[in-house]
Structure 1
Amino acid sequence: MMDFLQHLSFWDWLALGTLLLILEVFGAGGYLLWTGMAAAAVGVLSYLFPALPWPWQFLLFALLSVLTAVLWWQRLRNAGKTSQQPGLNQRGQEFMGRTFALHEAIVDGRGKIKAGDSLWLVSGPDLPAGTPVEVVGQDGVVLKIKACA
Structure 2
Amino acid sequence: MMDFMNELTLNHWTWFVIALVLLVLEIALPGVVFLWMAMASVIVGGVVFFAPDLGWEGQLIIFAVLSIISVYVGRTFLRRNPIETDDQNLNQRGRSFVGQTYKLIADMDNGRGKVRIGDTNWTVEGDFDGLAGDKVKVVDVDVTYLIVEPV
Query: Which TM bucket (shorter chain)?
Result: 0.5 to 0.7
- Indicate yes or no: 2:138 matched with 1:141: no
Q: Structure 1 residues 94, 77: closer, same or farther in 2, change over 3 A?
A: same
Equivalent residue, structure 1, for 2:58: none
2: CA distance between counterparts of 1:32 and 1:104? Answer: 51
What one-letter code is carried by the residue in structure 1 that aligns with 2:148? I
What one-letter code is carried by the residue in structure 2 that aligns with 1:44? F
1: CA distance between counterparts of 2:81 and 2:92? Answer: 18
What one-letter code is carried by the residue in structure 2 that aligns with 1:14? N
Partner SS for 2:50: helix
- Indicate yes or no: 2:16 matched with 1:14: no
Q: Is the 8 A contact 1:13 1:39 kept in 2?
A: no
1:122 is aligned, of 121, 124, 138, to 124
In the TM superposition, what is the alpha-carbon distance from 1:84 to its structure 2 partner?
2.7
Unaligned runs of 5+ in 2: 1-7, 23-32, 54-61
Task: Tell me the percent identity.
Answer: 25
Structure showing greater radius of gyration is 1
Q: Structure 1 residues 87, 32: closer, same or farther in 2, change over 3 A?
A: closer
Q: Structure 1 residues 78, 85: closer, same or farther in 2, change over 3 A?
A: farther
- Indicate yes or no: 2:135 matched with 1:132: yes
Q: Structure 1 residues 77, 112: closer, same or farther in 2, change over 3 A?
A: same
In the TM superposition, what is the alpha-carbon distance from 1:43 to its structure 2 partner?
1.7
Equivalent residue, structure 1, for 2:48: 43
1: CA distance between counterparts of 2:79 and 2:124? Answer: 37
What one-letter code is carried by the residue in structure 2 that aligns with 1:129? A
2:82 is aligned, of 80, 87, 92, to 80
> What's the C-alpha RMSD, in Å, of the aligned pairs?
3.7
- Indicate yes or no: 2:97 matched with 1:100: no
Unaligned runs of 5+ in 1: 1-10, 51-60
1:91 is aligned, of 90, 93, 100, to 93
2: CA distance between counterparts of 1:128 and 1:73? Answer: 50
What one-letter code is carried by the residue in structure 2 that aligns with 1:43? V
- TM-score, normalisation: structure 2: 0.58
Equivalent residue, structure 2, for 1:112: 114
